[in-house]
Amino acid sequence: MSGDAVHREARPRVSRRDFLESAALGAASGLVGSLIGPSTLAAAAPQALAHDPSYGQPTLLEVTFSELAEGMETGRWTARTLVEEYLDAIDRFDRRGPALNAILELNPDALDIADALDDERHTKGPRGPLHGLPILLKDNIGTADRLHTSAGSLALADSFAPRDAHVVERLRAAGAIVLGKANMSEWSNARGRGAIGGWSGRGRLTRNPYALDRSAGGSSSGTAAAVAANLATAAIGTETLGSIMTPAALCGLVGIKPTVGLVGRSGIIPVSYTQDTPGPMCRTVRDAAMLLSVMAGPDPRDKATTEGSIRRVADYTTFLDPNGLRGARIGIARNLFGSSLLADRVIERALDAMRDAGAVLVDNANVENAEVLWSIDAEVLSFELKASLNEYLASLGAKSPVKSLRDLIAFNERNSDRELLWFGQETFQYAESKGDLSSPAYIEALGTVRQLARKNGIDAALARHQVDALIAPTASPAWLIDLLLGDNAEIGPALVSAAAGYPSITVPAGDVQGLPVGMIFIGTAWSEPTLLKYAYGFEQTVRARRAPTFVPSIPLRP
């Protein structure tokens, strides 16, 4: 039915390591693995892998925003009891038990904030559906409180953000509680060749709750693992190059990478001016749409959110239709298949379900020039990494131990026994060698990337086949952790939408031996309403989300 052999040959055969080495830049890449701390290889097998995982499940298992809001309205829960339940789950499943190591740091003021929000609910009523709900943040998202903001790096282990990131301001205004910071691939996996996703110098390794010896992806690894394991209501990740899409897919979640400019980015440790964006990571499409509704808005400190014809919607849940696939014209981007034969088979079954639900699927709606895009985009990101990091680090003030990318490289060299034991910082060094953003080489590369990814890529495919979205497998199933060789994965279709700055949504589509497989929906700029309609219809059709059971390993039977 799928013609796997043909389609695998048609797909660009570019491994993640090839991509990193070709331009010495990983730039927040999403298809990443995992690494343990810098002790010994014997320490690579945690105690959790040595015994039967009889941990049970967290108390707040698979609860949604709407269920929690209703429960708080009826008095079943309060903001305090929710925080207490999640803190207990983090202790039992993240610190002990399966030892996911998804949470880097907990908010010491969370219970006090919860009490204040409970009082406010009693005296004034709730601010909205997120009132009193605990949310986790990726560790590159700034908070002006007692939580550090470090991008997982030892260089910023003692750093406090001077102000809330814009997205945090919006979350707090909606009544959400910042429960803590999640571990991540250090510097959004933009430091060096052979980088191991889900590992940071400060936090060490995050593990996948579906199989503890497999990757949770990256760079939003901790956010994905925590939400998948029901350790928080939801979380905010960030993406430059698949860093929401891939960990969400590997951990059985819904992830949204919005159009660049829909959600404010100020206060977030950056990689790229043209591709960075925060986005929701949730267990359901409805929760993700609710969270996006709160996050989206103009940011006076981020000109990308105030320029052009940005099309924001006050409530993205209005587009959720359980019959959203009926009559939908969607293109199957076959040349973005092929990262995993087994994942492709899962997607084929999901395609049959979509047809049964009334979708009109146009086959071979391929995105042209995808193979050429890889290396040129890496060149763009190398310029932007240097410029954006220099700007951010300089903003931290005199007390910061690093004030530039050059300082950061020197810090890592001085602390190589802790930071550089498993992989280096070649991508940092390559970026440092670049000029500024007025360089003709940068301007030419950026123009080429936008032409290939937008006009001649996604937009051309949509117009040529008269479809409103493109679909493909988001990524392969989670790969085994490999301390010495690094990630065993290919760049997925998320690169195309990331390079374009266009939106994408991943939704659970099925599983391989219990390992989740996601379907990615890709659209043109500001097409979040359409993608959400299709993603919700798909979710309600296949209903593939399953809570993890924290097994030590997946038994592979020939």
Say which of 159, 215, 219, 497 is annotated catalytic.
219
- The crossing angle, in degrees rounded to 10, of helices 528-542 and 285-295 is 160
Say which of 29, 34, 138, 221 is annotated catalytic.
138
DSSP code for 155: G
> Do 322 and 539 contact (CB within 8 A), yes or no?
no
What is the Cα–Cα distance from 241 to 27, expressed in whole angstroms?
A: 7
The kind and range of the H/E element at 521 are strand 515-522
Quickly count: other Cβ atoms within 10 Å of residue 455's Cβ: 12
CA 145 to chain centre: 23
What is the Cα–Cα distance from 484 to 332, expressed in whole angstroms?
A: 36
**Neighbour-count burial for 475-488, b at 16+ CB within 10 Å, e otherwise:** bbbbbebebeebbb
Coil vs helix vs strand at 20:
helix
Residue for token pair 């880097």: 104
29 is catalytic: no
Nearest to 67 by CA among 315, 283, 292: 283
Give the residue ranges of DSSP H helices in 35-165. Answer: 65-74, 79-89, 110-124
138 is catalytic: yes
243 is catalytic: yes
Say whether the peptide bond before residue 219 is cis (omega within 30 degrees of 0): yes
Say which of 185, 243, 340, 504 is annotated catalytic.
243
Tokens of 555: 């038994």
Task: Give strand ranges (E) for 310-411.
Answer: 329-332, 360-362
Quickly count: other Cβ atoms within 10 Å of residue 408's Cβ: 23
CA dihedral 492, 496, 497, 500 (to 10 degrees): 160
Residues tagged active-site: 138, 219, 243
